[in-house]
Amino acid sequence: MSSYIIEGGMPIGGKVTASGNKNAALPCIAASLLTPEPVVLSNIPDIEDVRVMLQIYTALGGRAEQLGLNTWKLTAADIVSSKVPDEAAEKIRASILFAGPLLARSGEVSLPPPGGDVIGRRRLDTHFLALTELGAKVKTKNNFEFTARKLRGADIFLDEASVTATENALMAAALAAGETVITNAACEPHVQDLCRMLRAMGAKIDGIGSNILHISGREKLHGCEYAIGADYMEVGSFLGLAAATHGELEIDGVLPADIRPAKTAFGKLGVVWEHENTTIHLSKKQALKVNNDLGGMIPKIDDAPWPGFPPDLTSIITVLATQVEGTCLVHEKMFESRMFFVDMLIGMGARIVLCDPHRAVISGRAKLSGSVVTSPDVRAGMAMVIAAFCAEGKTTIRNVYQIERGYENITARLTALGAKIEKA
């Protein structure tokens, strides 16, 4: 099990270019199964989750050819298997995204329960609801078995605005006969990316960016070329790192609209940045002081489905809050185990009261000390990286496989920003 050894206590800053959005790349790879024609995807991040997703794609009969840095040509002329491999599926939750396109293309799919981050109970019921509305039959004994003679358009109301359930429904509906309406659909930037890719393949989709999507099914889709958008979770992580360590940072390749909800939340901690076109600039002169609500009330930073503050950034902003003067409440409403990583922060000297599995009260500024910690998931792992750079002395972070599932070439990019980090 690999580790990072980090020397803290110095500003991290410079220039960096945003990677492609992991959460858009994964469903777009799965969507490539919807056509026998070649699909060329660019700006695909070179991360572990993408490698696993491509492994599943090829096991199902697709051919993946790397054309250059971050560009892949995917061709699924024939589906040779409708069974998602167990070992690969257990590594990432996104493996369930093959259910929709496999069902639409071959009429059946066998899928083991997906793996991924352990951040609480992550329901799959919404996937089953959406696919059964489109005409699938589902068996859930050991594996999940989906069959459908012919998918037909339907009026679907999702019981929660699940990102991956929306994506599965979108992909299945693109080849279903007739019209489909998905209400209470997720509308995050990565869902919008998938919608635009499906459009480039010939799908007819209206309502992109809203929570009501209209899909007119097609008999077949064609190949396309599509560029994945920037990863705003990575952008938020780099902004949190630079602000917490008093560094100055410039990030290129950003879509400012995607980072807007984070800008509001970071602003509550006295962190501001400027943007021009697709470039963000964060000055090292940050107030780093909690802006209380009216009447001097302690502010709350809580996550929500888009366009709310992204749940994947709650771990990042929690660490940032330890380095900000004042007190705030972070409320992670969507996953009941995500905040448990704060025990490691407390061990490093952070002043945090974990009220319950969802809420933490943070009082800063705290003096952190180096320690030995473990990365529990992608985002909490990156949060511990930020904490390590804020701390005095040396920190060892174990299980960094989790971090590298979501952050491209992270040690080299951090080193280029002045960080002292080694992988052991």
Greatest alpha-carbon pair distance for the chain in Å reads 64
Cα separations in angstroms, 347 against 168, 350, 371, 375, 386 = 41, 7, 8, 14, 15
391/278 Cα distance (integer angstroms): 32
117 is catalytic: yes
* CA 191 distance to own-chain centroid: 11
* Closest by Cα among 341, 396, 339 to 369: 396
223/360 Cα distance (integer angstroms): 47
* DSSP string for 260-282: HHHHHHHHTTT---EEETTEEEE
3/388 Cα distance (integer angstroms): 13
Considering 46, 49, 78, 117, which one is annotated as catalytic?
117
* Closest by Cα among 168, 172, 162 to 27: 168
Cα separations in angstroms, 183 against 31, 97, 133, 210 = 21, 19, 13, 9
Determine the Cα angle at 33 with ends 29 and 36, to 5°: 130
**Angle, helices 22-31/189-200, rounded to nearest 10 degrees:** 30
Residue 315 token pair: 């771990």
- φ, ψ dihedrals at 282, nearest 5°: -110, 120
Q: Which helix (H) or strand (E) holds 251?
A: strand 249-252
* Residue carrying structure tokens 């990863």: 231
Query: Beta strands 14-17 and 359-364: pairing type?
Result: unpaired
Q: What is the dihedral of CA 286, 330, 21, 236, to 10 degrees?
A: 10
Active site residues: 117
